Structure 1
Amino acid sequence: MAMRLDLEKLNIFYGDFHAVQDVNLSVAPRSVTAFIGPSGCGKSTVLRTINRMHEEIPGAYTKGKILLDGVDINGKDVDPVAVRRTIGMVFQRPNPFPTMSIRENVVAGLRLQGVRSKSKLDEVCEKSLRGANLWDEVKDRLDKPGGGLSGGQQQRLCISRAIAVEPAVLLMDEPCSALDPISTLAVEDLISELKTDYTIVIVTHNMQQAARVSDQTAFFNLEATGKPGHLVEINPTEKIFSNPDLKETEDYIAGRFG
């Protein structure tokens, strides 16, 4: 199910503004890659571009390639909706559909795909909630509103909703930034388990979190306000945090800026 992700000379624009410049990186299947760097350097913009959300902004466009197992997801014959089914997204703040029950939240994507079999929907609901380590906490209240869960439970509900459609890649944009430490630990443990089935990319401002959950880390930076963000260095996480190739990376890890 997991697929390899490659970015080749990816440039991202908002109209005339060059937001991100010449990103080249690869993410192996069944691994976790963390994007770190100061605010405004393009980490989340790259993430949104990977599942073709960036192009929804008026005037926004990209150059370069985003390859999923060698196939360019921006190809003329590629359906953006199909891309978003293959590349799931979990956002910074939990966003369960407030009028839907827990069960309806989990299977919303399948319903959009036309799945109507109750037995199939129930099966996927349980499997996805178990996959998000949430089943035991909610199995007796599946018909209650998803918005009634705690923040950490809501985020795991959103993860279960994302994995219900069986994506190949799972993108997470600061998934723990709005959570308490206990909920953060639960989501981090979940990320470690999910990488056995998915290719995961996570944006985080928490360097300790990047060190805990990722196999490789990509450090982004920008020269100055108004300049495009760029990828400074990507390496195995242990190397990035102990012996980075570049002083710029070392200075950021050490807290000298950012």
Structure 2
Amino acid sequence: MAKRMELKDLDIYYGSFLAVQGVSMVVEPRSVTAFIGPSGCGKSTVLRSLDRMLELTPGGRVEGQVLLDEQDIYASNVDPVRVRQQIGMVFQQPNPFPTMSIRDNVLAGIKLNNRKMPKSQQDEVVERSLRGSNLWNEVKDRLDAPGNGLSGGQQQRLCIARAIAIEPEVLLMDEPCSALDPISTLAIEDLIQELKENFTVVIVTHNMQQASRVSDKTGFFNIEGTGKPGHLIEFDYTEKIFTNPSLPDTERYITGQFG
């Protein structure tokens, strides 16, 4: 069940260093939200705060709120492991577990969470997840083959299958196509459009054309200079951001004048 997320006055720190300041936005359920902006402006840092992975970095902490359907995921009574079951993550480099088969890669998150299920149910999860990532027809006859024997684009779709197998409400993607060739990139972009039927999707991308193609809303992040915190400059419907942005900095970035 896709859920709404809301960021309220989010400040993100690494130790005493303020990395990102004052981010507020609403991410609607069953939509694709893209984060764009130059390197070092905090896009991936914000993304990592949305499933509490930021805390795995030494000194990483947040002030403000991240609400998942009104529940603050940083509240003292919230288990971060449970948060990461509700909010899945797909990384920049495809990272299937090298010693595991395709089948076991899909089931890895479920086994990690100690969820016991009979083989018949496991088979259903594997097929549903691989169909959901548009990979089933390519691998259904070799589920016991190593996951890292697939092509780069297939490996990334396997990682998406692994992420959706645990049935999260939100799916985060950190530059999921940056390591892929154009044909694999197109396949992932088509898949993102299908995934939003069941998930709330947030994607970080350096590719502005990709943001314009796949997202419903876009957040433009920027940074004033080295050592300064990143800021969310503008957040709006993607079509407006790319055709009629409200702020000069957004227009300058979109038109390639910096970044």
**Mapped partners of 1:26, 1:200: distance in 2:** 12
Q: Within 5 Å, which residues of 2 pair with 1:19-38?
A: 19-38=19-38
Report the alpha carbon displacement of residue 56 of structure 1 after superposing the two structures with TM. Answer: 1.3
Correspondence for 1:125:
126
**Mapped partners of 1:83, 1:18: distance in 2:** 24
Report the alpha carbon displacement of residue 86 of structure 1 after superposing the two structures with TM. Answer: 0.2
State the SS of the aligned residue for 1:64.
strand
CA contact (8 A) 1:134 1:156 kept: yes
Correspondence for 2:73:
73
Code of the aligned partner of 1:29: P
**Mapped partners of 2:52, 2:99: distance in 1:** 27
Code of the aligned partner of 1:133: N
Correspondence for 2:53:
53
Q: TM-score, normalised by structure 1?
A: 0.99
* Matched positions, count: 258
Correspondence for 2:227:
226
**Mapped partners of 2:120, 2:81: distance in 1:** 25
Report the alpha carbon displacement of residue 115 of structure 1 after superposing the two structures with TM. Answer: 2.1
Deviations 1:85-117 (A, max 9, x none): 100000000000000000000011111222231
Code of the aligned partner of 2:7: L
State the SS of the aligned residue for 1:224.
coil
Report the alpha carbon displacement of residue 123 of structure 1 after superposing the two structures with TM. Answer: 0.4
Correspondence for 2:176:
175
**Mapped partners of 1:67, 1:89: distance in 2:** 17
**Mapped partners of 1:213, 1:238: distance in 2:** 11
CA contact (8 A) 1:115 1:121 kept: no
Report the alpha carbon displacement of residue 44 of structure 1 after superposing the two structures with TM. Answer: 0.2
Structure 2: stretches of 5+ with no match in the other structure: none
Code of the aligned partner of 1:43: K
State the SS of the aligned residue for 1:51.
coil
Structure 2 residue 87 is the aligned partner of structure 1 residue 83: no
Correspondence for 1:93:
93
Code of the aligned partner of 1:38: P
**Mapped partners of 2:29, 2:54: distance in 1:** 23
**Mapped partners of 1:107, 1:125: distance in 2:** 7
Q: Within 5 Å, which residues of 2 pair with 1:1-258?
A: 1-113=1-113, 114-258=115-259
Structure 1: stretches of 5+ with no match in the other structure: none
Q: TM-score, normalised by structure 2?
A: 0.99
Further displaced range: 48-57 or 166-175 = 48-57
Deviations 1:164-194 (A, max 9, x none): 0000000000000000000000000000000
Deviations 1:185-221 (A, max 9, x none): 0000000000000000000000000000000000000
**Mapped partners of 1:59, 1:154: distance in 2:** 32
State the SS of the aligned residue for 1:248.
helix
State the SS of the aligned residue for 2:209.
helix
Identity of aligned residues (%): 70
Deviations 1:196-247 (A, max 9, x none): 0000000000000000000000000001111000000000000000000000
